[in-house]
Each structure stands twice: as structure tokens, then as C-alpha cells.
Amino acid sequence: MATTTEAPSDGKASSPEIGLHHWGDIVVVVLYFILSLCRPNRGSIRSYFLAGRSMVWWPVGASLFASNIGSEHFVGLAGTGAASGIAIVLYEWMSMPLVLLLGWFFLPVYISAGVYTLPEYLQKRFGGQRLRVYLSVLAIFMYIVTKLAVTIFAGALFIQLSLGWDMYISIVALLFVTALYTVLGGLAAVIYTDTLQTIIMTLGAFALIGISMDKVGGYYKLKVLYMEATPTVRAENSTCGNPPEDAFHLLRDPILSDQPWPGLILQSSLGCLWYWCCDQVIVQRTLAAKNLSHAKGGSILAGYLKLLPLFIMIWPGMISRALYPDDVACVDPDVCNEVCGNPVGCSNIAYPKLVLTLMPTGLKGLIMAVMLSAIMSSLTSIFNSASTLFTMDLWRRFRKHATERELLIVGRVFIVIICVLSILWIPLLKSSQSGQLFIYIQAVQGYLGTPIGALFVWSMVWGRMNEKGAFWGILVGHACGITRMVLDFVYAAPECGEPETRPPVLYKVHYTYFGQLLIVITSLAIVIISLLTSPQDRKRIKGLTWWTRFTADDIEVDTEIEDLSKKLSISEPEPEDDDVNRCKHWADFICGIPDKAQEHSLEEEATQKKSFLKENRFWSKILNINACIGLVGVAFLIGFFR
């Protein structure tokens, strides 16, 4: 096997230069975490979970981007780019129309409904508890299985390759620090940290693409070298390990391709609608904006930032394959096992391989900061949002008269529990991972998340939809999706050159097409069941659908009191004795829990909602123009790289 001399081929970095050994690097890291911890707005339910609804457009947009972009993107997108080319970037570019849909269509309804969480919206929309509880539990499960586990696995892979540390020691340390400043900071700290990390990620990633493009000889030279990047060790006369002929094209064969263009476009748009418009991690960022205009501005910024992954993630992965085909593009199981410990393939090492072999001293530390920033951005976002779901949707169901202090403590403790569960999941994830990480993410999230998008769209546009249709419709969709997901785990794809032995539904129906079937199945179930059962009282949906939503002119403070009282059904803390326990006092101080809950009058809550929905006509036109420019830009890029 041909080997490279820049870094060890066994995936373990033993060079003494690798790592944070210089005192300056250590000081920067320590100062960074101190600054992350010292953030305001963490003393009440509103400030901890919604950052006081005071965020302006640019930290909202940066946080949307950073919350989405994590180590799984750097590792997974670069790995898929190395394995099959640029088509996977459609998942990134189609985020532009989806994040605009969030700001222009979904968010006004969420604000009109006056909710903290998305399951809370469904409870208000349909009444009852089972749908809210079901989606809260499902969301937390998805956070652990598809978000936390994947992010931690990708981060562990990068740390293991770059530093040579024991994976579990590095992961425990990473989770501890991440959970610490999430617990101490609340959403305001998360959003400010995301903003800083977005800057670090972008600068570091651009530095890498500049150096690597210079090394490979430019874009047109990359196209030549990539198409010639085949591993040395493979069976004679075999096509295994050959780059796909359409690697530099987005729109591929609709039947025979690994990424058929109709399914890819539909799944990256309709199939991912749930993620950008109905997922707690993403929506919570826009709910923290000071008003609707800033939320829309943040959505536009996030959409523009999502145009970058082709250049800072996918192209570096392709360059890595062009420079190190025997490692990144290996197909022989023994060779792959030696290179990265995965006999199926080593495309996932493409990005860290490039960093370790090309970046000069100093810039290696910068890219390490990029990866740590990406990992911690994703983890903080997931920890905070999962904590919000558990506290506001599940804990308050069993503790209806819980005080604000109790809710804040429960939210922080739940973050610790999530850390433990994610660590316990790592061995299962490590043993089950094979092939391309990003494709795994999209497939699993498609099976579980796609029906959620259909549920929310119907909830907002069809007033005749009732609770029975919503609950049983989502169950039907998830039953089909989970069945396909289990089949994917049970029947592994055959190795290159081996005959196909899986059930036809797996290899004849691409996962992107199956996602669209889930939308149709879920929608049909919702419509049929709703029409066969009693309609919902039309008076109950006021303010909860697009057609009945409140605008700024509709909201009167007096009429909001009853609705807000139900939402903020939190008892006042019991009076304490003068002799307060010192341990309790210092614990509250460290966690940012005030001795007395910060009170918000009901009139103030309603006034803030009215202020949020009110838009300046001039800035509204500017935002609409920018949104159109963004959509035209995406259409141009797709046409250029078609």
C-alpha cells in the first residue's frame, strides 16, 4: 500500500508537535471558557430558556448556523465529498428557503400562540396532553440518538486522529466543560458563544481551503486529480474505489445514482422542513430575537452562511482524497482497518487527515479550535433545548405547581443526565457506524423527522384538522419510518462487488424517495382520520394557525391575561427563614438562580408579544428584498454546478 509521510497512516497522531503544549494556546483556551461562562441573563425562565427575547439579528443568525454546523459536518460532509463528490451540498443550499420559511411563515404563528416549545404549540392547537408528551419524548430521543451521539462520535474521531488521546477521556472532558458553561449560562451564553464560534469556524476553515487548494493546484487541477484518485490496493480489474463519474455535478441520474436528483432535492427541502421550522434547537434561536424583523434578519444571515459548506467542507474532503487516495479512498477491508479502524471505508478521516498533514504549526491549533468550537456549539444547543423540552413539557406535567427555582434546577440537572446517556451511547454508536456518516444522519433523521414536518404544516394551514388526526397520523408515519430504519440496521449494504441480498425496499427505494413517501402517508392519515372524526371547535384555534394568527394590531393586553396565566402556571416560591443554608446559597449563586424569582407581569408579557410582531415597513421591505436575493443566489449555484 502506498503511504504518505506527513502523518501516521494508522489514524493515531504520535508526533510531539501535535497537541496544545504551548503555554499561549493553553491561556487562550482558558480565557475562552472563562468568557463563555461570564454571560448575563440567566436568572429566570425567560432569560435562561429564551435569552430574555433580546437578541439582535446577527447573533441570532450566527447561532442558527453554529447550532446546525458541528463536527459531524466537518467530518461527515468532507467524508461524503471525498467518497462521492459535491451532490450532498444540496442539503446545505436548500436550507436557504427553509430558514426563510421559518422566519416568514412559522415564527409568526409560534409567537402568536405564545409558546416556549413546539410540543407546547401542538397542545394549544389541539388540546390534550398525549401529542405534546409524545413529541417531547420523541425529540429528546432524537437528540440523544441522532444529534448528541453523532456529534460526540465525530468529535471523538477528530480528537483521536489529531491528538492521539484516549477517546473516552477526551469525550468526558469535552462533555464536562460543555455542560458546565451551558448549565451556568443559559440560552444567552449559548447564543453569544455560538456567534464567537461561527467567526472562528469560518476563518479557520477558509485558511484550510486556501492552503489545500494551493497544494492541489487550484480547482481545475482538483477535478483532474480527484477523478484519478483510486487506491493502490484493490481487486484486479475492479471498479471498486473509482470516483463517481458525476462527482462534480449536483443533478445525477434519478434511478441509478447514489444521490438521485429528484429525491435529493425533495428530501433536502420538504424532507428537512421539520428540522429548520419545527425543531426545538433551531426554532429556539429565533424565539430569542427581540422582534420579528431581527428574527427574519437572522434567518437571512443563516441562509447565506449555509452557502459556505461546499467551499470549506466538501472541497477539502475531495482534496484530501486527491492527495491521499490510499488512506481516504481505501476499499480493501484490511487496509481500511489499519488506516482508520473501520473495514468498510475511511472517507470520514478526510478532513482531519488534511489538517494534520497540510497545516503549519500554529494554524493546526486554529483548526483544532474550529473543531472544538463546532462540537461545543452543537452540544450546547442540544443540551439547552433538550433541557427546555424536558422541563417545560414533561416536568411541569407531573409538577404542575413547581416553582421557578425548581424548574431552573431541574433544567440544569437534566443536562447532566443527558451527558451521562450520551457517554453510554458511544460504544453502541461506534460499533454501528460504517460508511458515510453524513448519509447516515440524513437517512435516520429522515425516517424520524420527516413526518413531523407534515404534522406542523397541516396544523398551521388546515383548521379542520383535529387531535385524533394529528396523533394517529404521526403514529402511522413514524411506524413506517421506524420499520425502514430497523431494516437498514438489520440488513447492511453489501461490500463493493458483492451480490445484493437485502429486501428490495432497501435497494430499490432510495432513502430520499422513501422520505417523500412518508410525507404522503402521514398527510393522508392526518386528512382521512380528521375527516372521519369530530371537528375541533373553531374558536379554540384563534391565534394558532396562519389564517387566524394574531398580528401586532390584534393583541390587546386585557384579552391576553387568561392565556398567559395558563402558560406561566408557576407558583411563587415559598418564603424562607432568615437563616438560609450557606451551601444552598452558594449553589444558587453558582447556578445563577436568584433568591427570589424575577417577576414578569402578565401585561408585560402581552406587551412584549405585541412588540415582537410589530414590524417597520421600511425594514420589512429590505428583508423581503434580501430574502429574494438569497433564493436567486441558491438557484444560480444549483444551475452552475448542475
Enumerate domains of the chain plus CATH numbers.
Answer: 49-94+127-272+295-431 (1.20.1730.10), 442-536 (no CATH)
Q: How far apart are CA 365 and CA 302, in angstroms?
A: 26
Q: By mean pLDDT, which of 274-278, 356-360, 456-460 is the weakest?
A: 356-360
Indicate the pLDDT class of residue 318, thresholds 50, 70 and 90: very high
Question: Which has more pLDDT, 4 or 101?
Answer: 101
Task: Give pLDDT tens digits for 179-199.
Answer: 665 555 544 555 555 566 667
pLDDT, position 3: 38
Non-local (6+) Cβ contacts of 82 within 8 A are: 317, 318, 320, 321, 328, 329, 347, 350
Task: Give pLDDT tens digits for 528-565.
Answer: 999 999 988 888 888 899 998 877 666 665 444 444 44
Angle of CA points 153, 157, 158, to nearest 5°: 120
**Sign of torsion, CA 165 166 170 173?**
negative
pLDDT, position 603: 62
Question: Which has more pLDDT, 526 or 599?
Answer: 526
Q: Provide DSSP, 177-246.
A: HHHHHHHHHHHHHHHHHHHHHHHHHHHHHHHHHHHHHHHHTSHHHHHHHHHT---SSS-TT--TTPPPTT
pLDDT, position 469: 95
Residue 209 has pLDDT above 70, yes or no: yes
Q: How far apart are CA 199 and CA 62, in angstroms?
A: 8
> Phi then psi for 55, rounded to 5 degrees?
-80, 140
CA count, 13 A, side-chain hemisphere, 226: 28
pTM: 0.81
Mean pLDDT of 324-351: 84
Non-local (6+) Cβ contacts of 101 within 8 A are: 273, 276, 277
Task: Give pLDDT tens digits for 376-402.
Answer: 766 776 777 778 778 877 888 778 777
Mean pLDDT of 498-527: 91
Q: Quote the mean pLDDT of the chain.
A: 78
Question: Which has more pLDDT, 461 or 419?
Answer: 461
Residue 18 has pLDDT above 50, yes or no: no
Residue 19 has pLDDT above 70, yes or no: no
Q: By mean pLDDT, which of 16-20, 249-253, 493-497 is the weakest?
A: 16-20
Q: Annotate 286-322 with b (16+ C-beta within 10 A) or e (fewer).
A: bbbbbbbbbbbbbbbbbbbbbbbbbebbbbbbbbbbb
Question: Which has more pLDDT, 160 or 45?
Answer: 160
